[in-house]
Structure 1
Amino acid sequence: MDKIRLGRTGLMVSACGFGALPIQRIPLKDAAYLLRKAYDHGINYFDTANAYSDSEEKIGAALADVRGKIVISTKSGGKDYKTVLEHIQLSLKRMKTDYIDLIQLHNPATLPDPDDPNGTYAACVEAKKRGYVRFIGITNHGRERGRTAVLSGRYDTLQFPLTCIAPQEDVDLACLAHERGMGFIAMKGMAGGLIAHAEAAFVFMKKYPFVVPIWGVQRESELDQFLELEKNPPRSEDWAAEIEKERRELSGNFCHGCGYCQPCAAGIEIQTAARMSLLLRRAPVPPLMSEKTNAMMMRIEECLHCDACKSRCPYGLDTPQLLADNLADYKSFRAGWLAAQAEGTKA
């Protein structure tokens, strides 16, 4: 598989990175199989986080014996020096390694003060001195914070959402990072699963050969799809119209499914419910009409209007209003669908 130089780190990582957030949702045996298959087929870059429940343990179980042949990045969302160091030490233990290639500060709401000896950036510097980590990066969903991080010159990499429906400003940020010698790691390449065709997402990423995409993988079919795309890349001109279609349909504010709004005090599955209108028109409908899904959507009526989800949204969405709009659309859609099913039964 082709390799991409991860900016000034000099790390040569596979053009197809393995996003290990989704493997927290599957059993250890299945996760280990996917991770090992990815490695056996040329993927050498695996991205995870301290917060992804048992994702790090699964990487350790599957890949500890080939540690010297892979690149691992993880993240800490710690708010202070002590917590970040504790997270790093825990990550080392979980992944059965004595070093982390890239430690990333995980989506901070404000950039750390580099001169604060008790701050999170200082903790990363100390971890590097101790040999726990090799390079320091940052992840973010805020464009201005991302730009400030790039211009600071203090980080080796930036991980940021980038998709084929991204505004030009996001592409410009990726280019700026590259110009400044930073590695640029693209997350959310499938817009949280809303982009209908992986081919469209793939050809877009290939337009920027310095961008390292990390594709979230939970199923073998997903892994196989990206491996096949790397092996037999589609022609960009064949997918230009599809990319434009995706941009039109997904323009404006929509929930990216990142989950930073959680937990919800009312138990609403926000990252699914807030995208329901799009899912109804971009995914198989029958599963979305189940009683289980209906019950999930009806939880929106129990919203406490505490606005905690709104305050946590890295995209600045009015999440409660988005939930209300999606519920109204869902009720209307479901009523029409059930009526059509009943009519079909009569016929």
Structure 2
Amino acid sequence: MEKRRLGRTGLDVTVISFGALPIQRHTMEDAGPVLNAALDAGINFIDTARAYSDSEEKIGQHISSRRSEYYLATKSMSRDKSSMAKDIETSLTNMRTDYIDIYQIHNIKERKDFEAVMAPGGALEALKEAQAAGKIGHIGVTGHSLPLLIEAVKTNEFSTVQVPFNFIETGALDELFPLAESLDVGRIVMKPLGGGQVRSIDLALRFLLEHNITVAIPGMDKVEHIAQNIAPAKKFHPLTIEEKNILKDEAQQIGPNFCRRCGYCMPCAAEIDIPQMFIFHLQYAFYGLKEAIPKRYAAMKAKASACIDCGVCETRCPYDLPIRDRLKQVAQDLG
């Protein structure tokens, strides 16, 4: 598989690599085959986060013995120095390693987050100290707000930037990616398959490979996902006009304001699996699964109608989706 240089880090990473968010849904035992299959397939870059429940622990449990085979990235939501320092130590312990290649500031969503991180006594100070101590190699930043990420990259403090980018969300092409390239900052693409909502996987990944990204990290929680996701990078060929039109039609069906299944809205006080509700509704309303989806929905323990309208989920959503209104629509259509 093709490898690309991850900006000023100098790391040569497989262009399709492993997003570890979904393995938090696995048991500890079941995560092992997926992680090992990724390494067996030649993937050499794994991205996780402190916020992905026990994802770090699963990495440590199952592939720490193969640490020389992959570069490791994680991230923390901590904004102050003390909390970030603790998270770095926790990550090292969880993943059973003494060195993390890239430690990222996770989800810069609002200006107050950015200012807290960059201020004296902020998270960046802890990352620099850990870097000087040899505990981490490089410092990165992630988020969904393009203006804030552009501002962060301009500080020249970060060696990588991680942002959503796919055939529906192309805003990073306008300024962020050209800026990052000019400053030799690695471009890590999250949500390359729209959080699992994209149907045309081969076409969607080939779309990414046509652009000047460094690495895409689709989430994988099944062994079969690995071969499917790396195939476009092993035998790449550009999209045809017909294939571009297929993606255009799919983008119009899904729309720009869709749930990416990141799970940040969870847990729900009413125990609703919010991302799954939206997947069901997309499959029912747009993909025509009028018989199968109502049956699957009926089997759910907590349905959309159980929403208590607390709004906590909306404060967590990095895309500011109107989750409560959408749950009401799901309840109206599916019960």
TM-score, normalised via structure 2 length:
0.90
Q: Which amino acid aligns with 1:227?
A: I
Q: Counterpart of 1:50 in 2: which secondary structure? A: coil
2: CA distance, partners of 1:69 / 1:250:
37
Q: Which runs of structure 2 are paired with 1:218-257 in the superposition (5 Å)?
A: 218-237=221-240, 239-257=243-261
Q: Give the deviation of 1:265 after TM superposition.
A: 2.2
Q: Which runs of structure 2 are paired with 1:124-273 in the superposition (5 Å)?
A: 124-167=127-170, 169-172=171-174, 173-237=176-240, 239-273=243-277
- Which of 305, 308, 311 is 1:304 aligned to? 308
| Cα displacement string for residues 7-40 of structure 1 (whole angstroms, at most 9, x for unaligned residues) | 1111111111111111222233432222222222
1:340 is matched with: none
1: CA distance, partners of 2:128 / 2:138:
9
- Which of 287, 307, 317 is 1:282 aligned to? 287
Q: Which amino acid aligns with 2:298?
A: N
Which segments of 5 or more consecutive residues in structure 1 lack a partner in the other structure? 332-347
Mean alpha-carbon deviation: is it higher for 114-123 or for 204-213? 114-123
- Which of 123, 139, 159 is 2:126 aligned to? 123
1: CA distance, partners of 2:258 / 2:38:
31
The answer to whether structure 1 residue 30 and structure 2 residue 30 are counterparts is yes
Q: Which amino acid aligns with 1:244?
A: K
Given that 1:297 and 1:327 are in contact with CA atoms closer than 8 Å, whether structure 2 keeps it comes out as no
1: CA distance, partners of 2:257 / 2:76:
28
Q: Give the deviation of 1:115 after TM superposition.
A: 5.3
2: CA distance, partners of 1:61 / 1:286:
41
Over the aligned positions, Cα root-mean-square deviation in angstroms equals: 2.2
1: CA distance, partners of 2:196 / 2:213:
23
Which segments of 5 or more consecutive residues in structure 2 lack a partner in the other structure? none
Q: Give the deviation of 1:82 after TM superposition.
A: 1.8
1:63 is matched with: 63
Given that 1:178 and 1:210 are in contact with CA atoms closer than 8 Å, whether structure 2 keeps it comes out as no
Q: Counterpart of 2:32 in 1: which secondary structure? A: helix
Q: Give the deviation of 1:44 after TM superposition.
A: 0.6
2: CA distance, partners of 1:115 / 1:232:
42
Q: Counterpart of 1:324 in 2: which secondary structure? A: helix
Q: Give the deviation of 1:234 after TM superposition.
A: 4.7
Mean alpha-carbon deviation: is it higher for 305-314 or for 92-101? 305-314
Q: Which amino acid aligns with 1:294?
A: A
Given that 2:169 and 2:256 are in contact with CA atoms closer than 8 Å, whether structure 1 keeps it comes out as no
Task: Say if 1:329 and 1:252 are closer, same or farther in 2 by CA, change over 3 A.
Answer: farther
Given that 1:205 and 1:211 are in contact with CA atoms closer than 8 Å, whether structure 2 keeps it comes out as no
Paired residue total = 329
Mean alpha-carbon deviation: is it higher for 76-85 or for 197-206? 76-85
Q: Give the deviation of 1:143 after TM superposition.
A: 2.0
The answer to whether structure 1 residue 320 and structure 2 residue 324 are counterparts is yes
2:91 is matched with: 91
Mean alpha-carbon deviation: is it higher for 100-109 or for 23-32? 23-32
* Identity of matched residues, %: 35
| Cα displacement string for residues 75-126 of structure 1 (whole angstroms, at most 9, x for unaligned residues) | 1112322221111111111212111000011113321446533211111111
Task: Say if 1:268 and 1:65 are closer, same or farther in 2 by CA, change over 3 A.
Answer: closer
Given that 1:17 and 1:214 are in contact with CA atoms closer than 8 Å, whether structure 2 keeps it comes out as yes
| Cα displacement string for residues 298-343 of structure 1 (whole angstroms, at most 9, x for unaligned residues) | 7433333222222222112222112212322334xxxxxxxxxxxx
Task: Say if 1:283 and 1:215 are closer, same or farther in 2 by CA, change over 3 A.
Answer: farther
2: CA distance, partners of 1:28 / 1:306:
32
Q: Counterpart of 2:144 in 1: which secondary structure? A: coil
Given that 2:103 and 2:140 are in contact with CA atoms closer than 8 Å, whether structure 1 keeps it comes out as yes
Given that 1:84 and 1:120 are in contact with CA atoms closer than 8 Å, whether structure 2 keeps it comes out as yes
2: CA distance, partners of 1:295 / 1:29:
26
TM-score, normalised via structure 1 length:
0.87
Task: Say if 1:328 and 1:90 are closer, same or farther in 2 by CA, change over 3 A.
Answer: same
Q: Counterpart of 1:59 in 2: which secondary structure? A: helix
Mean alpha-carbon deviation: is it higher for 177-186 or for 281-290? 281-290
Q: Give the deviation of 1:159 after TM superposition.
A: 0.8
Q: Which has the larger radius of gyration?
A: 1
Q: Counterpart of 2:101 in 1: which secondary structure? A: strand
Mean alpha-carbon deviation: is it higher for 136-145 or for 261-270? 261-270
Task: Say if 1:283 and 1:64 are closer, same or farther in 2 by CA, change over 3 A.
Answer: farther
